[in-house]
């Protein structure tokens, strides 16, 4: 009698757990397509967003219209063409508007303090200057390393020369409260030196590999 009493809660919890696992599996199955669609649209939004200012400046399309959710997939197909990139788990894109090459975008991979990070780096048509940067996946500490996603950090790379005299330029970190006096200086995130350094290493190593493939052209 006592053994039955002791085993009953165990079997009851096992059954309840299996029921809830089954419910979650069914819910995920029904929502899987929507989740994948949302992830795809967010990715497209991030990539197009890197070129939104350039497209608007050229008078081709307003930023709001370019990034409007209802037109996002059509706009992505109109402006973005995926390129062959013989590097595992990396992607490359060519961005054109009215047959004008606006630049290239590379999906790159790096290691942060707590795990991998992924970024989209927009490069000008000559392959020498960073147009924009978006870090869209990271596992860093909230409030510290996770701040690499913030515009204040990312925008520092916009307009910076990355390829000069046939080699990748080395960026260097300076304190966050210090003004950059040289083109290679990047203000680090206070309390997240390792993460800040990891971003610089990711950009240098990944673009170094990609540029060896001679992706890029002069306009």
Tokens for 135?
């870090």
- Element holding 199 (H helix, E strand): helix 193-211
Q: Is the pLDDT of residue 7 over 80?
A: no
Average pLDDT value for residue range 14-37: 78
pLDDT of the residue at 28 = 67
Q: What is the mean pLDDT of the chain?
A: 90
Tokens for 129?
């200057």
- pTM for the model stands at 0.82
**How would residue 11 be classed by pLDDT, with cut points 50, 70 and 90?**
confident
Instruction: Pick 1 or 193 by higher pLDDT.
Output: 193
Instruction: Pick 36 or 134 by higher pLDDT.
Output: 134
Exposed, middle or buried by CB within 10 Å (0-12, 13-18, 19+), for 167? exposed
Tokens for 31?
């929502």
pLDDT of the residue at 27 = 73
Q: Cα-atom radius of gyration of the chain, to the nearest Å?
A: 23
**How would residue 133 be classed by pLDDT, with cut points 50, 70 and 90?**
very high
Q: Is the pLDDT of residue 199 over 50?
A: yes
**Residues 87-121 as b or e (16 or more Cβ within 10 Å = b):** eeeebbbbbebeeebbbbbbbbbbebbeeebbbbb
Q: pLDDT for 59-75, tens place per residue?
A: 999 999 999 999 999 99
Distance of CA 40 to the CA centre of its chain: 12
Query: Measured between alpha carbons, how far is 91 from 41 in angstroms, rounded to an integer?
Result: 16
pLDDT of the residue at 164 = 85
């Amino acid at each position: 009698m006592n053994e039955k009493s002791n085993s009953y809660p165990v079997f009851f919890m096992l059954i309840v757990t299996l029921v809830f696992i089954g419910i979650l599996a069914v819910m995920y199955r029904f929502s899987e397509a929507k989740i994948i669609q949302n992830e795809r649209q967010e990715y497209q939004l991030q990539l197009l967003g890197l070129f939104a200012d350039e497209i608007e400046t050229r008078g081709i399309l307003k930023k709001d219209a370019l990034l409007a959710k209802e037109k996002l997939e059509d706009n992505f197909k109109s402006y973005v063409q995926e390129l062959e990139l013989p590097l595992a788990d990396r992607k490359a894109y060519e961005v054109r508007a009215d047959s004008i090459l606006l630049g290239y975008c590379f999906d790159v991979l790096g290691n942060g303090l707590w795990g991998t990070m992924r970024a989209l780096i927009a490069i000008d048509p000559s392959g020498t200057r960073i147009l924009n940067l978006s870090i869209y996946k990271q596992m860093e500490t909230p409030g510290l390393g996770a701040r690499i996603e913030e515009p204040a950090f990312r925008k520092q790379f916009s307009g910076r020369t990355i390829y000069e005299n046939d080699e990748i330029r080395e960026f260097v970190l300076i304190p966050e409260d210090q003004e950059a006096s040289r083109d290679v200086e990047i203000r680090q995130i206070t309390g997240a030196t390792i993460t800040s350094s990891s971003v610089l290493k990711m950009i240098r190593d990944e673009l170094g590999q990609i540029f060896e493939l001679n992706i890029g052209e002069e306009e």
